[in-house]
């Protein structure tokens, strides 16, 4: 297989795994949207999947790099829903507010207010509060109870529409521990964002998205499984 075929195969494999996870958990696959994390991907690879119509939601973790890519007409011609998934510094809030449709990694009231002030007229930005799922200090996000408190405060904003939680699970955690963590967040999500209004729960990455979708994730974020797998030498 050449590079393009391998990329499409990676996408099809992910898609099949998502469908299988939905079937196992008796979930409607329509409830699950693949968020393709393009932050480390080469431009040519992102374009391959865009042209094939494989990806619509894309995730970036650096504002400057994302601006350069997604305002380039070659990329801008494709309709994509753009998610910011990195740590947002307050001084980048205005740029982020112009480019992104979602900020999936809100972890402070200050930053959310900076985004709210900078959202262009007529635009609404969807936001998720990032929940910290490990004790490690290096990870961003807020412990679950603080995340829930922040989500409550953010419901008063008007241009930033808070609609769920995002979490990064500890790498290499045992299955049972992963499942428990995902369940805790899912339970809080169901209480704080009951069905009926727009809601998103973004759990799961390349290594753990199957478990995450089985446990209720609606927006798994997948990077290396799409853009790095089997591509060496192609
Ligand atoms: C990079 C990144 C991902 C994608 O990780 P993979 O393991 O490559 O799928 C997902 N979520 C966040 C927040 C990231 O920064």
Distance (angstroms) between ligand 1 centre and the Cα of 169 equals: 10
234 confidence band (pLDDT: 50, 70, 90)? confident
Which ligand 1 atom is at minimum distance from the Cα of 222?
9
Q: What percent of the chain has pLDDT over 90?
A: 94
- Whether ligand 1 lies within 6 angstroms of the CB of 166 is answered as no
Strand duo 160-168 + 200-203: pairing: parallel
Nearest CA to ligand 1 atom 6: 223
Nearest CA to ligand 1 atom 13: 85
How many Cα atoms occupy the beta-carbon half-sphere of 183 within 13 Å?
Answer: 6
- The tokens of 48 are what? 């391959």
Distance (angstroms) between ligand 1 centre and the Cα of 214 equals: 18
Domain for residue 234, yes or no?
A: no
Per-residue 3-state assignment (H helix, E strand, C coil) for 70-132:
HCCHHHHCCCCEEEECCCCCHHHHHHHHHHCCEEEEECCHHHHHHHHHHCCCCCCEEEEEEEE
Which pLDDT tens digit goes with each residue over 211-223?
999 999 999 999 9
Residue 162 CA to residue 146 CA, distance in Å, equals 15
Domain for residue 231, yes or no?
A: no
Domain for residue 82, yes or no?
A: yes
Distance (angstroms) between ligand 1 centre and the Cα of 14 equals: 14
What order of strands is seen across the sheet that includes strand 160-168? 200-203, 160-168, 125-132, 102-106, 81-84, 57-60, 35-37, 221-222
The model's pTM: 0.96
Q: How many domains does the chain have?
A: 1
Domain for residue 230, yes or no?
A: no
CATH number at residue 114: 3.20.20.10
Strand duo 221-222 + 35-37: pairing: parallel
Residue the block writes with tokens 């900078």: 118
Could you tell me which residues are beta bridge partners of residue 49?
none
pLDDT at 107: 96
Distance (angstroms) between ligand 1 centre and the Cα of 31 equals: 20
- Whether ligand 1 lies within 6 angstroms of the CB of 103 is answered as no
- Whether ligand 1 lies within 6 angstroms of the CB of 213 is answered as no
Domain for residue 212, yes or no?
A: yes
Residue 82 CA to residue 103 CA, distance in Å, equals 9
Mean pLDDT of 13-27: 98
Is residue 171 within 8 A of residue 208, CB to CB? The reply is no
Q: What percent of the chain has pLDDT over 70?
A: 100
Which pLDDT tens digit goes with each residue over 104-150?
999 999 999 999 999 999 999 999 999 999 877 677 899 999 999 99
DSSP 173-198: --HHHHHHHHHHHHHHHHHHS-BTB-
Distance (angstroms) between ligand 1 centre and the Cα of 84 equals: 11
Residue 192 CA to residue 91 CA, distance in Å, equals 29
Domain range for 16: 3-223
- Whether ligand 1 lies within 6 angstroms of the CB of 218 is answered as no
Which pLDDT tens digit goes with each residue over 139-160?
789 999 999 999 999 999 999 9
Domain for residue 76, yes or no?
A: yes
Domain for residue 87, yes or no?
A: yes
Which ligand 1 atom is at minimum distance from the Cα of 37?
4
Nearest CA to ligand 1 atom 11: 221
């Amino acid at each position: 297989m050449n590079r393009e075929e391998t990329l499409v195969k990676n996408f099809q494999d992910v898609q099949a795994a998502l469908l299988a996870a939905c079937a196992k958990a008796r979930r409607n696959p329509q409830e699950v949207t693949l968020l393709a994390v393009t932050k480390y991907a080469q431009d040519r690879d992102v374009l391959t999947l865009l042209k094939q119509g494989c990806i619509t939601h894309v995730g970036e973790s650096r504002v400057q790099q994302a601006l350069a890519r997604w305002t380039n007409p070659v990329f801008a011609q494709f309709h994509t829903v753009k998610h910011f998934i990195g740590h947002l510094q307050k001084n980048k809030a205005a740029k982020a507010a112009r480019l992104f449709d979602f900020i999936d990694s809100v972890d402070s009231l200050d930053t959310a207010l900076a985004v709210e002030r900078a959202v262009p007229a007529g635009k609404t930005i969807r936001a998720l509060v990032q929940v910290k799922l490990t004790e490690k200090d290096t990870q961003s996000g807020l412990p679950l109870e603080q995340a829930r408190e922040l989500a409550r405060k953010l419901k008063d904003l008007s241009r930033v529409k808070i609609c769920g939680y995002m979490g990064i699970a500890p790498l290499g955690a045992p299955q049972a521990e992963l499942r428990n963590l995902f369940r805790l967040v899912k339970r809080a999500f169901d209480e704080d964002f009951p069905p009926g209004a727009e809601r998103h729960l973004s759990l799961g990455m390349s290594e753990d998205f199957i478990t995450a979708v089985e446990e209720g994730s609606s927006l798994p974020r997948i990077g290396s499984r799409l853009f790095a797998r089997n591509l060496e030498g192609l």
